Structure 1
């Protein structure tokens, strides 16, 4: 038998609008858990005390794309943001801007941490590398294993001699199982037996025992299947199909429980989070424990506040999302009598684990061309579809020699030919060395500057600022705004000092000079255009984002000045041209830390500050007053970014701006913006507080799916 014991709330979840936002992951660390929220934040919680021990955030503009894990060997935490940037920090670190970071050459899907061994990094292309191997050569070439398949689930297990990583991919409705044996560098591929057309796999779980990986597959029709995957290799070259057997059909009170996630408690019990579509059309969320030996429901718990469908199991604790918080539920499972009689009570974990040693043949800087990847075994080679390399293709070693001595025209032709040729396994690593050679030649010879080559190399998306720090310095020296814009869009790790240097260059260059420059205008959307072409009579009383075009009543004479200022600026054109606006928008979308950015903003001249503030004011007007403005560009600017930069500029140059007579009208308008924003959010806070108080006093009744309730706030 199995049952739920006591439960308590661990923490609150970040909310997107009125709905809780599903966390990216929850990883264990002894009596602690590491919660990674979707966005920028990682928090370490002490489970027994229900209190946070530390909280870390990445820069604005960066997004965490992989759940943080703890390295059991070093006690450090590891995270990946923006798919490729890996960061490592310790618990006593307070600022992620100052910790170790490395930019990888391929997108990361997940990092798996195992006891007594280095974490394993699974890339979206299906390659598996140890963390040590990646840190030795972050820009090493990552081979493509899964081709057009998409990874849906992965997990790592500790075998007797080596770690085993398993992942499942999907392609056109077909599911494939991969088994990667790390020490032996063996990769096996199986095809999962297809199910009925009306049901698809929703969640997976698994464990390793006696050289067999046992997978549990939860399907959309409420059935849980078991799949056995052997670690021993087959001599047959045909694709092996894994058969599945039905374990249990999830039925509660005659209705099917449509699960969304599944976890394994022991060999006889599983926990399932899902929803029950009952006959009265009320969808109810449930969390339940099932005995898969006897196909029976052992315990169930309704989740009245809803759930994101996520659950985790660590030790004797279950973690499940409920409403706007994560609940910790203690449980106990008694051994089934039949399982005890047939002797199936064994520990799933294997003792006596040994440390591993991995030789990944990482590419070295001095031998980037001569090192070739180790030839995979036949079974692994059959899984890849790789084009044969052309013997006549120019090698990177030859290209580096050409860059040193040849003319600019010859270098451009050879580099373009190299980029258009068939990509070799070490292509991505070679790009970094080619850029470094070109930049070194530019620094040594002021007349040498192959603009098109550098643009094409940056667009390969395999570079970062840390890999070629002198590239942007050369572009700033040459005032190559097109190359600077591409670097700002592609590089995730640009220092704040370089961002401010780019800003000074963009503000100082004339609009007439930019007319003949190639600039990416995707970030403009519809926000920069002649105001005369878009009459504003219809929007004169529109309220957007807390700002109204009408002045506040209690402003007095200041309100009259503001009203005149707003009416005057509605008749003016954008203070900068479209190309300069696109460049400034790139700056606004860059990732930065306020602490490090503020000192460098003080290097701007008074004229540059006024021009930038006028442009930010114009953007705010277009975003706030015009209800029809579309900011749907690839590098779109948000109103929060606009307000953040206004605050930063005023903090850095407040004394200078106040002393200039021509800025009085601008400051008055900006003051109105800030007061409107403050009033808007203050009203939202009041409404939120009132609703919370009403919810506390009058607990909402179950009034069915369709109902209207009027709440009067006095």
Structure 2
């Protein structure tokens, strides 16, 4: 029953998202395939090694090269270049045994530092070690770059046997811990190695993946709470998980073999793909790039391993079998192609069921605030902008000090008059910290001597759009304690950085106060009262009969696992059209809270603090908003103070995730869930039909464009008579 209910909930998500807008970085200089992608010093730079001679440093956001270096004829790069984190220098291995280091300002690589070692080098790995990198030799030895440069002719003792070769390696990190993981192979036998420069507890053990001794198609590793987790994709279209506990690094408790367990199966994935690569994105997401034999285009898919779901998918038209390794660097996924880099940002959170079902915000998202406290510049989620300077900073500085002196002397009436003149003009950003200090003085005065004038001063300060929760958290704390609904509503509309715990406290307060307290609050609920009367009407259709089936008879069999026998929904047609479960004034307060920017990973545990009754009322109200949004052709409410469809779906998913078991056991929630499921199915069907029409329109546009390019004139040249 639990699984059936979970499947029905998945239909609450109308649109999936996980990737941002993709772009192509290039064309790449030189020729040959990309053999290395490494961090370039910050999240917006990447170091690319292409072919046997070229190294290029790119600025991703501006899509241009910051520097490019090439080796001369007769030299070849044998290990990709890295940027040393501690020194800022670039390092590369040429001809297997020569290290070459240079700075970004260097132009001629023939005049830079080089060092020849006695043993062949397999790879340079960037990290916080001495010299900013580690050197992995082909014999399996690991040393810091400084150690190798200081003693290049010293003997290196490795852990690999004769004929054993390294197939894959990576640096994994967790907080302050950095380890080097590599896989070696000899006669189809795999061994997993974990080491670090100067680490006396380096160890290795046989590795078995999916019961097969062969190397998997792709693999990646991360550190989770100091435990090594290795995820592998094998030819049977299954992901396998291998774990090495931190205690196993003790030689006395060394495992005899590292085994793997099946993590999930990738349905629809073709194991006969010509190119396969994967990258782990956090604890629960895996990105897989592949080029199926049956398709001319590649595919980049994002899977949630916790809930075994496909999160997002992208098509890569110019992907070939010679593409490079998929890498995750600085919040972006990089896939090397023949002449360019395919770059796509990845955003998401793996902590909740809502995210697993594709609840991530899109690139056009407008509900997040951008806050820069260094310059006191804040852009709110509702598109409000701060006023520009219209008077001198010095004069307003003196005016604020005058208001503060009035408050200290108890002349709140004069302070209110002076403040009214101040906020009626434009306030420079440089004075926002002074207004925050003035607000703290008003709060202290209100605590000692409550009064209407001081309260009005506080309302004016909050309405000035110059304050935030970070600059003056006492305001929010005092308003919540005093249960001042009107001022709390203003704070929710003007503060761009309200913490998730405070946000849930506001929702809890709005749902718990009596109706008499709500009616006393000076809150404008005109937009909410007009909300149901602003629905877009399709010509020829009645307003109260939308093309939405809330009682789909075909769903009876699917819902049988959730509804007990003989307990089918007996609601009449009039009862199945959801009405607003709260008053318009209370709904206006809830809307302000529902439109606040948040992080789902932080909000989810906070939502669990809501009582079961409050969670049910909130779910009914979200169902009402969901229904109203679906009735509109555009999917938008036409109001800046009423949540839009995407925001409503996000909240429904998070709320059900936070109170899954409670709502499952509540009979009152059953009908709400079923109605939302049926409503969502109808919307998904509409979207499916629109997608088919969009494909036809695109073909029509393509044919018209092709016809427009056809030459209308021709000429004849006489070549010979």
TM range (shorter): 0.3 to 0.5
Bigger fraction of residues in strand: 1
What is the TM-score normalised by the length of structure 2?
0.44
Of structures 1 and 2, the larger Rg is shown by 2
